[in-house]
Amino acid sequence: MNQKISTKSSKILSDFLDKNNLHKKDFAQMIGVTLSYVYNLIDNSIPFSTRSTTLERIATVMEVEPEIFEEYRLPQEPIIIDDTVLKIKNELQNRNIKTLDFLKSFPRNKRLDIVDILRGAIPIPLDYNELSFMGNTIGISQEEIFEIWESRFKQALEISGMNIYSNSKLINSMLDCAREFVSEDK
C-alpha cells in the first residue's frame, strides 16, 4: 500500500522548488541528500525529515528560519555564528543577492559547504582563494575580503592554542607579509 503522508512542510518545499525553477538534483546536492530522498519528501511518500541538520540546510537554501517546518526541533546546543559569517550574510542581504543565486555561483561539489557555512555549522574557509571567490561573487572589496580572512586567521591561531596578544609582533609581521603578497597578486 503506497500511502501518501500530507504535510505542510512538503508543500512549502515543493512550492519553493517550483517558484525558483530549481532542479531537484541541484537542491539535493545543496543540502547533502540523495535525489530520491528529495523526490520522496516532495511526493509525500515518506514523513518529512526531522533531522535538524537537514532542516537547517533546507531553511538556509530557502532563506527562511527552520522553525517554519513543523518537524523542526531546536537543537540542544546553541548554534554560534561568528562575525565573519554574519558579514557574508549581511552583504548578501544588502546587495539583494538571494542565497540560491549565491549558491549557484559555486561548483556543485562546493555548495553543501557554503550552505553549512551560512548556517553556522562550519567556519569561513581559511584558504584565501576560496574566501576571495566568495567575496568576489558577492562584490566585497579586496580590502574587506582581507579583513575577513585576517579575522578568520587569528581565530584559527587562537583555536590552535596560540596567544595572539603575546605573539602580536609575530602575527602582525605575518599579516603584513600576507597583505603584501595578496596586493601583488592582483
What CATH number corresponds to the domain at position 58? 1.10.260.40
Number of separate domains in the chain: 2
Same domain (yes/no): 41, 99 = no
Q: How far apart are alpha carbons 65 and 14 in whole angstroms?
A: 17
64-100 pLDDT per residue, tens = 999 888 888 876 666 667 788 888 889 999 999 999 9
Residue 110 in any domain: the answer is yes
Residue 50 in any domain: the answer is yes
Under DSSP, is residue 79 helix (H, G, I), strand (E, B) or coil?
coil
Residue 109 in any domain: the answer is yes
Residue at a domain's end among 22, 41, 68: 68
Same domain (yes/no): 13, 91 = no
Which residues constitute the domain of residue 14?
Answer: 8-68
Same domain (yes/no): 97, 40 = no
Q: What percent of the chain has pLDDT over 90?
A: 58
Distance of CA 154 to the CA centre of its chain: 21
Burial of 107 (0-12, 13-18, 19+ CB in 10 A): exposed
pTM confidence score: 0.77
